[in-house]
Amino acid sequence: MNRERLMTGLQSLFEAGGEAEALQVLEDCPEILSDEADIMLQQMASSATKNGDDSAEKIFSMMREFLHDLKSSILMESAQDGSELNQILRELSEPSKSGDMPRNILLCRRALELMPSENAQLRAALQVVLGNSLAQTPLGDRADNIEQSIEHYGLALKVRTEKAFPEKWAATQNNLANAYKSRIRGDRADNIEQSIEHYGLALKVRTEKAFPEKWAATQNNLANAYKSRIRGDRADNIEQSIEHYG
């Protein structure tokens, strides 16, 4: 697949007037969803970064995210385990409240049992939802829930790498940092250090220019972590906290 055909197909897909037209584009140019196309967009984004073209890099990265989400949606609809899996995924896609978390945990675990192993991206998404639900559930042992949450975020990050899925990688790093900040087990000082490290990793992608709102939220989280930091000089930690709040 050459670059010109890829960009023409993407433009047609973005300009599609509805689902039927979009499906026709995918039928005419199915390689849009291929690994080759993904690698090509990744290379184009990297080239733009090297050339200092932040705008082009962001566009190519957004295209990759769009195609990843589209591919996951298609995989979800065509999942082999039919109605039960699709029903679970539809329910999990609905907005949730704190009281829904115990059921979400059960749904995620069942979905992971039903989901084919080759659907790595969708399995990673389920791992994140499961991690979030465990971190927020009001039921069960809080310490156990957080340990499991950390484990599931780690599993998601095996698929959501910085190189392949930078935005999702950063979001999962932020969630992992939150979990370490709330962790009950282990050494409190170690947990806060882990939290600071993962917030810092998230900020590699969540820059002020590219994602101002997410950048601000992560900076606020990092400031709170420095405010609670046990290691290091107390005065220095407070100065770091002030800097990140600012």
pLDDT for 195-233, tens place per residue?
999 999 999 999 999 999 999 999 999 999 999 999 999
Structure confidence at residue 226 (pLDDT) = 96
Are the CB atoms for 3 and 44 separated by under 8 Å? yes
pLDDT in tens, 153-179: 999 999 999 999 999 999 999 999 999
Longest dimension (CA), the chain: 62
pLDDT in tens, 47-74: 888 888 888 888 878 778 877 777 766 6
Distance CA(190)–CA(208), nearest Å, equals 28
pLDDT in tens, 74-112: 655 555 545 788 888 888 888 888 889 999 999 999 999
Distance CA(176)–CA(201), nearest Å, equals 11
Structure confidence at residue 76 (pLDDT) = 57
Give this prediction's pTM: 0.70
pLDDT in tens, 136-147: 998 899 999 999
Are the CB atoms for 16 and 22 separated by under 8 Å? yes
